[in-house]
């Protein structure tokens, strides 16, 4: 297990280095002068040059690249360009990350049990009406972008029926449970989008496990249906579902940008979008790398869960 974990950690480090390099290359291809973007078109050139020097935007690209790598490993991303090099990047990114995390966690809390339960229910009724209804519904909802679903929920529930909030940012002092009313509609928008994929993977895995030799052997040994389901079927069938859930963490950030925009929610997605518009490279780099770290950690946790459920994966991965 130690060797298995070490290989995954090394893979994470290499992946993050590649991610940092790609982000650096992309943001330096973006047109525009940093100082001019921040100060506006009417600012004097000397003020623009002074700001570029203060934030290091006038340094050679190779120095900026190594600075970005150092920041990745130290998690010190410097100061924001928009503040003129005065406000630390993490003072902007971490609160935004916390707000997005609340929304993402609520979406997963809604999605995962419902999707797994629906996939299991469909697999037990293969090719019947319930199975076809769940599969068709999952395919339909997965094909609709999150921001479209968010707009429909906003129009129907918030405006027409008065359920939930049109603006998802809770007021200051709102209790933990009081925030649920603000976050439920954007969380549902993401849950609807990711329901189908998780449910279909669960269904596929359970059907394969039901038809496997070890399931027939367990039944012939006299185990009860509950014992067969928990000890044999789910233990093997949920491996692809766990992989899918871990990959959804990465897709979640892409979808959350549109959802946050629709509900005027100031999370990490809107922060990244604002950083692109203002050419605030440190905020953009910090946001993307933090998302990468979260995605890599989610993948590592998924690998460990699969290795615990299926020792063959652990042994094969350690070779």
Reading the chain (319 residues) residue by residue, the pLDDT tens digits are: 677 678 777 887 888 788 778 877 776 666 666 667 667 677 778 877 887 777 666 777 788 788 777 777 777 777 787 776 678 888 888 888 888 888 888 888 898 899 988 988 998 888 889 889 998 988 888 888 888 888 888 888 888 888 878 888 887 777 877 888 888 889 898 888 888 888 888 888 888 888 888 788 888 888 877 788 777 777 777 777 887 787 777 677 667 788 888 888 888 888 888 887 777 778 888 888 888 888 888 877 777 777 776 655 555 555 5
d(CA 53, CA 312): 55
Contact indicator for 118, 179 with CB cutoff of 8 Å: no
CB 91 within 8 A of CB 115: no
In the chain, count H helices and then E strands: 14, 0
pLDDT of residue 114: 92
What is the distance between the alpha carbons of residues 118 and 203, in angstroms, rounded to a whole number?
8
Q: What is the pLDDT of residue 262?
A: 86
55 contacts: CB under 8 Å, gap ≥ 6 = 34, 78, 79, 81, 84, 85, 282
Tokens of 37: 């973007």
Distance CA 67, CA 1 (A): 35
In angstroms, the CA 141 to CA 154 distance is 16
Dihedral of alpha carbons 266, 267, 273, 279, sign: positive
271 CB burial (10 A radius; 0-12, 13-18, 19+): buried
pTM: 0.75
Write the DSSP symbol of residue 30.
S
């Amino acid at each position: 297990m130690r060797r298995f974990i070490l290989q995954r950690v090394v893979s994470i480090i290499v992946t993050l280095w590649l991610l940092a390099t790609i982000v650096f290359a992309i943001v330096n291809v973006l047109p525009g002068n940093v100082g001019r973007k921040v100060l506006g078109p009417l600012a004097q050139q000397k003020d623009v040059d002074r700001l570029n020097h203060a934030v290091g935007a006038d340094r050679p690209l190779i120095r900026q690249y190594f600075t970005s790598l150092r920041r990745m490993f130290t998690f010190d991303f410097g100061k924001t360009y928009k503040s003129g090099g005065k406000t630390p990047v993490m003072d902007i990114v971490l609160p935004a990350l916390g707000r997005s995390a609340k929304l993402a966690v609520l979406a997963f809390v809604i999605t995962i049990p419902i999707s797994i339960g629906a996939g299991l229910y469909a697999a037990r009724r293969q090719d019947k009406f319930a199975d076809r209804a769940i599969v068709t519904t999952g395919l339909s909802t997965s094909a609709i972008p999150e921001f479209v679903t968010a707009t429909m929920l906003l129009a129907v529930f918030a405006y027409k029926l008065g359920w939930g909030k049109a603006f998802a940012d809770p007021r200051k002092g709102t209790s933990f449970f009081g925030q649920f009313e603000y976050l439920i509609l954007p969380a549902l928008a993401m849950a609807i989008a990711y329901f189908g994929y998780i449910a279909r993977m669960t269904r596929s895995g359970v059907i394969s496990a039901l038809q496997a030799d070890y399931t027939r052997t367990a039944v012939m040994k006299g185990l009860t249906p509950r014992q067969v389901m928990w000890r044999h079927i789910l233990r093997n069938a949920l491996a692809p579902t766990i992989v899918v859930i871990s990959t959804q963490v990465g897709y979640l950030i892409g979808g959350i940008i549109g959802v946050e925009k629709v509900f005027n929610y100031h999370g990490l997605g809107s922060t990244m979008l604002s950083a692109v518009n203002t050419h605030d490279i440190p905020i953009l780099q910090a946001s993307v790398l933090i998302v990468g770290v979260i995605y890599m950690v989610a993948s590592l946790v998924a690998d460990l869960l699969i290795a615990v459920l299926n020792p063959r994966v652990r042994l094969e991965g350690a070779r």
